[in-house]
């Protein structure tokens, strides 16, 4: 039976496109059955539609406006995904909303995230900006990309795949970003296939 994947995005969806391309080349190890965005304007929704992948938009603002909490949002999102799609794997591909235990506990060991930093370094938002600032200050000579399991502690879950990226003399921030994104686009599909193959296990 084909493994089912749900992808969560917030923006342009370039990493989603890498997953779609891998699926079309039969190199993903599963089928993307749904793409969810927490932003209505995310271009990744167009990428999904172009590949005939169902999409959904769920925004925290709607919950805030209704007097509901972040946990309510996460719980309802988890219920929607679980009841309608029953995924084998949830991939956070540029999903800019920190998920609470209300979501994570529903899919423990079945959520992975792409983060543009090495394990134990530059956790949280703006990791590329911070890496470049440290490089320019002379305190960093390399950064990297990892795909890891998601736990409630941000970017602290067990790594699945890690690739180091050098910071090169004369780099602009755009140069570094381009190298990081190129690595992201090949490491994420590989990690998805590895997890779905059963050859790597969450430490949870």
Q: Which residues are catalytic?
A: 115
Neighbours of 181 (CB within 10 A): 15
CB proximity list for 204: less than 8 A, separation 6 or greater: 108, 109, 149, 151, 158
Going along the chain, which residue ranges are E strands? 4-9, 31-37, 55-57, 89-92, 111-115, 142-149, 159-166
Which residues partner with 47 through β-bridges? none
CB proximity list for 97: less than 8 A, separation 6 or greater: 10, 38, 60
For the four alpha carbons of 187, 190, 192 and 197, in that order, the dihedral sign comes to negative
Residue 148, classified by CB atoms within 10 Å of its CB into exposed (0-12), middle (13-18) or buried (19+), is buried
In DSSP notation, 120-176 reads TSS-SS-HHHHHHHHHHTTS-SEEEEEEEE--SSTT-SPEEEEEEEEPPTT--HHHH
């Amino acid at each position: 039976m084909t493994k089912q994947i749900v992808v969560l995005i917030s923006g342009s969806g370039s990493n989603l496109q890498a997953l779609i391309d891998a699926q079309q080349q039969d190199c993903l190890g599963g089928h993307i059955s749904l793409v969810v965005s927490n932003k209505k304007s995310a271009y990744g929704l167009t990428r999904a539609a172009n590949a005939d992948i169902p999409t959904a938009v769920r925004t925290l603002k709607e919950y805030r406006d209704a007097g509901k909490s972040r946990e309510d949002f996460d719980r309802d999102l988890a219920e929607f995904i679980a009841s309608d799609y029953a995924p084998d794997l949830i991939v956070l591909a540029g999903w800019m909303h920190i998920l609470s235990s209300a979501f994570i506990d529903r899919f423990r060991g079945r959520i992975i995230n792409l983060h543009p930093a090495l394990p134990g370094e530059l956790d949280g938002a703006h990791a590329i900006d911070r890496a470049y600032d440290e490089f320019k200050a002379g305190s960093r000579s390399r950064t990297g990309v990892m795909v890891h399991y998601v736990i409630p502690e941000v970017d602290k879950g067990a790594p699945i795949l890690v690739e180091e990226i050098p910071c090169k003399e004369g780099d602009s921030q755009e140069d570094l970003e381009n190298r990081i994104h190129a690595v992201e686009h090949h490491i994420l599909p590989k990690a998805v296939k590895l997890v779905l193959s059963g050859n790597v296990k969450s430490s949870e």
